[in-house]
Structure 1
Amino acid sequence: MKTNLKKATLLLTGLMVGSKLFAQTPDSASTRNYVQPFSDGGAFRTWSIGVNGGLLTPFTVFGWNHNQDFSHPTSQVGYGGYIKKQILPSFGIQADFLRGKVSGEEGQGTNSSFETKLNYAASISGVFTLANINWRHQKGAIQPYLTAGWGLMGYKPAVNGVAFKANNESVKEAYIPVGLGLKFNLGPGVNLDMGYQVNFVQSDNFDGYKVNGGADKFSYAHIGLEFALGKSSKPQLATHNPVNSMRTEYLWENQKTKDALQAQIDAEKAANAKLRSDLDATNANLAKFTVDSDADGVPDLYDKCPNTPAGTKVDGSGCPLAKPEVKVYVTEEDKRVVKDAINNLEFDLGKATIRAKSYPSLDRVAKLLTDKNFSLKLAGHTDNTGSDALNLALSKDRAESIKAYLVSKGANASRIEATGYGESQPIATNKTASGRQANRRVEFTLY
């Protein structure tokens, strides 16, 4: 028994080492597994061979093992091989061959043991591959499978060393193999095969002992390697994912359509760019007849007085017309409007933000400037609280704030001058609160 376990351990170790070596050469070509949808079988590798080894035992996952002729099964080494033809991605036909020994101890009511030499077991099975359809991957890394078939075997059973047949001839019987397993893809044409098979013998003499009258059975747990036959450039049909090939085909066709549309768009853009270039050249040729650099209404070609200021009225040759002098008079009412704005002017403490209370009187000043086209000088002043630089900046900011407000109400910005003097021009002493308040002011000069 220990010798058999050592043999099985060495067998499994060799197969696992072989799988590691094959695993070092993965499929690096991303398109290797693509096959045009609805291609015939010639686009795939459909034939494969396999070798395996494992343990043979009368113990199975079916039925009550203690009711067998020998209730204490032992394990023996078995080995086999197969050739398979894949018909569809999910179905193939496989011819199997198996050899080895099956043994057990403690027959019904006795201390006997048996050992059956399995000279051969040959069968034809259908192999149903599962879970090889995947929308995300070109192929799955693992393929579960189920097998079921029919075969013939030749074996020599012996009980306590005594052959079942006196002449030591082989017994020939039919059997039904049923199994399941997993295949792991190690490379483009190599799979690691791990399976479990139960063989139902069509008689009760497989163990050389007939007691219960039921058919004998034994199991074969194995591990091995499968090699795909054919050109390495073709994928295995059993591992191929036809659904994902259809998806890949759709993505490629969709990309071709996008590329064609993009090429058409690029061609139209190029044609439009040429038309634009031709139009720009034509406009450049016509520009000398239409360009009016000073915007006085007279083209440069005929303008005898170029670069006249904006808004200047000119004659037919582009020269300014004589402008009558208009005198502006400041009335007492105008002065009262300005004085009222000064009296009502308030800012946020230490800031140039005008308080809303000042808006109505400033609005009247803005209307006065727009109606009579007056000019206005704004002079900002502060007390001596704080640094000189800070006071100068604050006085300038407040004058500019008033100017910005008046301009927003329609006043001509070119006619308003905003200046800041800081604390340099006090009109009262800075030693008292009232004096400092008087010095914090913005003066309006209307002219």
Structure 2
Amino acid sequence: MSMFTKCGKSLVIASSVLALSGTAFAQDSTHKVDRVTPFNGVKDYRTWSVGVWGGGSAAFGPFGGPYYFNNFDFNHVGLVYGGYIKKQIFHNFGLQADFMRGQVKGSTKASQSLVDGIKEFKTDIEWSASLSGVLSLGAINWINKQSYVIPYLSAGAGTMAFKPTVETASGKTAVLNSAGKATHQELFIPVGVGAKFVVARGVNIDLGYTMNFVNSKVFDGVNNGSKDKFSTARLGVEFALGNKKKPQLAVVNPAAQVAMDLWDKNAALKNSLAESDARNQAAISQMQQELNSMKTDSDNDGVPDYLDKCPNTPAGTKVDGAGCPLPTPVQVVKEKIVITDADKKVVKDAIDNLEFDLGKATIRANSLPSLDKVASLLVEKNFSLKLAGHTDNTGSATTNMRLSKERAEAIKAYLVSKGANPSRIEATGYGSTQPIASNKTAAGRQQNRRVEFTLY
């Protein structure tokens, strides 16, 4: 058995063991489901990751291959390896930059005719770099809170530098040159499928298969007029970068995040309702006791004890709302006021002698002696007095109303200055609204310009 046979078999066995052990670990893991705030962007996640991998290559795949190089055994499995860096954009989509090196090999069957005398080829991939979009198919899991196995699809484009070497039936080898150089550089399109197995926080086993479509007719060393392609199977390990306390965006189940948030809120609401119900029951019990105590009336006066400010009131006593005895009414004797003819004459004299400056509220000096007598009368007998000012209809109604009011107030002010009680004097102006004579004659207008004094 050749060295390549041993390596190929070892690679397949190792891939199987790691995949099975990773799956078993994931199923048995008690990996804590990370909690983040829903709809809060990607700041609570780790979105960058790196990976390394190794695997095998073949000159054909599901989309076919060169019919003249379809002889397959472990002797014709090429070894490939590489690494990548990935940026997760959403839960189910990310961008991945890949680097790869290795070999692709193939040979014809013994019963098959040779093409251009070529029996075998070996193409060394010196380097390849590509950028792919990766679509995760199992990020949302409605069965388990944590996603442990996440299938994915990928597709992208890149550049590859390769050097094809062929061997003829006679055992000769030759390097297929391109523009005088042994290394070719062409574009290629990688299309892949695979699955990530979550084995630890921020650590995933990556098992994948990729079909690579090369923009070259001589990748396999034979220029037969069609573009070449090859496939790779790989097994690798991916490590999330960043704060270890944050979950990896690519493996978090967003449905579980929302569900757990709702469950927590529901549980909190139930606890709050239970606590509120307990408080309400205690409050109701206390209120019932208080209501019972509020009905107690020890002295039977109709006022409950909690409102009774005068407890132990004798039976039959009339009480107020505070439970205190009502005061005995005091008989108020109202003094009878007697206004004599002499009093009326004093007032009449004051009216007859009352004069003001023309169009003003200034009392003339000859009116003051009779007003002094009215003031003395008010002080001695504690009379009340109503002063009503009136005018004729000469001038505007507003002016007349103001002037009549000011003249009544002027008389009140004078009487108060002589000792009369201001609270017992009422001064009102009526303007020209209450004439006692015709305003068409000078005599009538003179009568209407007056201040009436009313004792009571």
Matched, 1:266 2:263: no
Aligned to 2:440: none
Aligned to 1:127: 134
Structure 2: which amino acid aligns with 1:199? N
Aligned residues: 282
Superposition pairs for residues 35-434 of structure 1, below 5 Å?
Answer: 35-63=36-64, 65=65, 67-73=66-72, 74-106=76-108, 107-108=114-115, 110=117, 112-160=119-167, 161-165=173-177, 169-211=182-224, 213-276=225-288
In the superposition, relative to structure 1, how do residues 21 and 253 fare at CA in structure 2: closer, same or farther (>3 Å)? Answer: closer
For 1:259, what is the secondary structure of its paired residue? Answer: helix
What is the distance in 1 between the residues matched to 2:297 and 2:48?
Answer: 78
Structure 2: which amino acid aligns with 1:194? L
TM-score scaled by length of structure 1 = 0.57
Cα-to-partner distance string for 1:81-116 (whole Å, 9 max, x where unaligned): 111000011110000111111111124374521111
What is the distance in 1 between the residues matched to 2:107 and 2:255?
Answer: 52
Q: Report % sequence identity.
A: 38
Cα-to-partner distance string for 1:325-366 (whole Å, 9 max, x where unaligned): xxxxxxxxxxxxxxxxxxxxxxxxxxxxxxxxxxxxxxxxxx
Structure 1: which amino acid aligns with 2:82? G
What is the distance in 1 between the residues matched to 2:24 and 2:48?
Answer: 21
For 1:45, what is the secondary structure of its paired residue? Answer: coil
Structure 1: which amino acid aligns with 2:229? K
* Runs of 5+ consecutive residues of structure 2 not aligned to the other structure: 109-113, 168-172, 299-456
In the superposition, relative to structure 1, how do residues 23 and 236 fare at CA in structure 2: closer, same or farther (>3 Å)? Answer: farther
For 1:43, what is the secondary structure of its paired residue? Answer: coil
What is the distance in 1 between the residues matched to 2:63 and 2:152?
Answer: 19
* Contact kept in structure 2, 1:71 and 1:108, CA below 8 Å: no
* Contact kept in structure 2, 1:45 and 1:234, CA below 8 Å: yes
Cα-to-partner distance string for 1:267-301 (whole Å, 9 max, x where unaligned): 11111233455578899999xxxxxxxxxxxxxxx
Structure 2: which amino acid aligns with 1:84? K
For 1:41, what is the secondary structure of its paired residue? Answer: coil
Structure 1: which amino acid aligns with 2:232? Y
What is the distance in 1 between the residues matched to 2:4 and 2:80?
Answer: 10
* Contact kept in structure 1, 2:129 and 2:159, CA below 8 Å: yes
For 2:98, what is the secondary structure of its paired residue? Answer: strand
What is the distance in 2 between the residues matched to 1:18 and 1:72?
Answer: 28
Q: CA deviation at 1:250?
A: 1.4
Cα root mean square deviation, aligned: 2.9
* Contact kept in structure 2, 1:93 and 1:126, CA below 8 Å: yes
In the superposition, relative to structure 1, how do residues 204 and 21 fare at CA in structure 2: closer, same or farther (>3 Å)? Answer: closer
For 1:92, what is the secondary structure of its paired residue? Answer: strand
What is the distance in 2 between the residues matched to 1:170 and 1:68?
Answer: 25
In the superposition, relative to structure 1, how do residues 18 and 71 fare at CA in structure 2: closer, same or farther (>3 Å)? Answer: closer
What is the distance in 1 between the residues matched to 2:144 and 2:22?
Answer: 24
TM-score scaled by length of structure 2 = 0.56
